[in-house]
Amino acid sequence: MHVAVLTKEVIEYLAPQPGQNFIDGTCGAGGHSLAILEKILPGGQLLCLDWDNDAIGRAQAKIAAKNAKWLQQVIFINDSYANLAKVIAQKKFGPVNGVLLDLGLSSDQLAVSGRGFSFLADEALDMRYSLANELTAAAIINQWDQVSLEKIFKEYGEERWAKKISQAIIKNRKQKPILTTTELVGVMTQAVPRKFQYGRTHFATRIFQALRIAVNDELGNLQRFLPQSLDSLENGGRAVIISFHSLEDRLVKNFFREQAKTGRVEILTKKPQVPSPQEIAQNPRSRSAKLRAIKKIS
C-alpha cells in the first residue's frame, strides 16, 4: 500500500484553512489529497489531477473510505499536471490558495499497474502513466540508437555503466526484441560488472528510472508546470513540490530562486525538507524525497 511522504510537512507549508481551494497535481493514491481535505472542509474545494486513470480510482476510494460525502468537494481530472492552466480554465476553479505536486512514483504503480515500472515483476516494458501516450519503454529500448540510450541513462539515471549497458542492448536486440522487464534486466547483467550487482540499491534501479522519465517526459512536464502553478495562485497562496531526483530538484530550486529575485515569491524552505529517520525507517522509498515551498507575494 502506498504511503504518502512528508505529509506533516506538506500540511505545514501549504497551511490549508477551512473554505480554501487547493490543487493536488498528482493525486496518486490520495494520501496528500485526504490530508488537505481534512483541513479545508467545510467549504473548501480540491482539484485533483493524475495522468494515470487507475490512480484516480484509488484516490477516490481512499477519500470515500474516510467520508463518502467529501467526494462532493473534489474534482478529479485524468490529465497531466503540465496542462494545469487549461484544466483550471475549463473547470473555472478558483481562487487557488495552494498547489501541491508530488513527483514520486507510487507504490501502487510499482506493485499493481502491470506496466513494467518495477524490475521485480516480469511485465511488458511499457512505463506509461497514461496509455494515451504513444511512446513506451519497449520502443526506446528497441528503436533508439546507442548514443541516445547512453545519453538518457547518464542524464536521467546517472548510471556509471551507461555506455556498456546501451551497447549490450544494441547487441541483444539484433538477435530478438527486448520486450519485458526480465529480459532487460538479463541484458544488464551482461554489462554491469558482477561486483556492482549486489549493492544496497538494485543495479537496475537507475536504468528503470531513466526510462520512466524519458517515456513520460517528466522533466519537460515539470518545466511546463512550474510557471503555470505560480500564475494560478492568489497572492498569499503557496506551492509545495516534492521531488525524488536531483534533476527535478534542481529545476524546482532554480525556478523558485529566479522568482524570488523578481519579488514574486518568498521562499519558505531555505533548504529542502527531507524525511525524518523515523519516516525513512517506516517507508524506505521516502529516503530521496526533497520538499521545497514558496509563498506568492505579488
Same domain, 11 and 99: yes
Would you say 232 and 84 are in contact if contact means Cβ atoms under 8 Å apart? yes
Q: Are 204 and 188 in contact (CB under 8 A)?
A: yes
Same domain, 145 and 203: yes
pTM equals: 0.91
Last residue in a domain, options 165, 192, 215: 215
Predicted confidence at residue 229, as pLDDT, reads 98
Element at 43 (helix H, strand E): none
For 64, the domain range is: 7-108+218-296
Beta strands in the chain (DSSP E): 21-24, 45-49, 74-77, 96-102, 233-243, 265-267, 290-296
Q: What is the pLDDT of residue 263?
A: 97
- Residue that has been written with the C-alpha cell 541513462 in this structure: 153
Q: Residue 47 has which C-alpha cell?
A: 482539484
Of the CA atoms within 13 Å of residue 69, those in its CB half-sphere come to 4
Residue 103: inside a domain, yes or no?
yes
Q: Domain tally for the chain?
A: 2
Q: Within a domain: residue 115? A: no
User: What does the pLDDT profile of the chain (298 residues) look like in tens digits?
Assistant: 567 899 999 999 999 999 999 999 999 888 999 999 999 999 999 999 999 888 899 899 999 999 999 999 999 999 999 999 999 999 999 999 999 999 977 655 555 668 899 888 899 999 998 888 999 999 999 999 999 999 999 999 999 999 999 999 999 999 999 999 999 999 999 999 998 888 778 899 999 999 999 999 999 999 999 999 999 999 999 999 999 999 999 999 999 999 999 999 999 999 999 999 999 999 888 889 999 999 999 8
Total number of residues shown for the chain: 298
Residue 153 lies in a domain: yes
Sole residue written with cell 490558495: 97
Are the beta carbons of 18 and 40 closer than 8 angstroms?
yes
* Distance in angstroms (rounded) separating the CA atoms of residues 190 and 77: 43
C-alpha to C-alpha distance for 133 and 135, rounded to whole angstroms:
6
Residues 152 and 208 placed together within one structural domain of the fold: yes
Instruction: For residue 16, give the 3-state DSSP assignment.
Output: coil
The whole-number pLDDT of residue 106 equals: 63
- 117 domain-assigned: no
- Grid cell, residue 251, equals 529545476
d(CA 8, CA 277): 14
- Final residue belonging to a domain, choices 215, 235, 260: 215
In a domain, 282, yes or no: yes
In CATH, what number is assigned to the domain containing residue 69?
Answer: 3.40.50.150
Domain boundary, last residue among 190, 215, 240: 215
Q: What is the pLDDT of residue 54?
A: 86
Q: Is the dihedral of CA 256, 261, 264, 268 positive or negative?
A: positive
Structure-block grid coordinates of residue 217: 517526459
Q: What is the CATH number of the domain that holds 198?
A: 1.10.150.170
In this predicted structure, what is the pLDDT of residue 176?
A: 98
Q: Report how far residue 147's alpha carbon sits from residue 274's, in angstroms, rounded to the nearest whole number.
A: 35
Question: What stretches of 156-217 show up as alpha helix (H) in DSSP?
Answer: 162-173, 181-191, 205-215
Task: Give the sign of the dihedral formed by CA 83, CA 88, CA 91, CA 96.
Answer: positive
How far apart (Å, rounded) are the C-alpha atoms in residues 156 and 141?
15
48 in any annotated domain: yes
**Strand pairing partners for 21?**
45
Are residue 61 and residue 87 in the same domain, yes or no? yes
CA pair distance 294, 298, nearest whole angstrom: 12
Provide the residue type at 62 as one letter: K
* Residues 214, 208: Cα–Cα separation, whole Å: 10
Q: Please say whether the beta carbons of 37 and 46 come within 8 A.
A: yes
Is residue 113 domain-resident?
A: no
Indicate whether 1 belongs to any domain: no
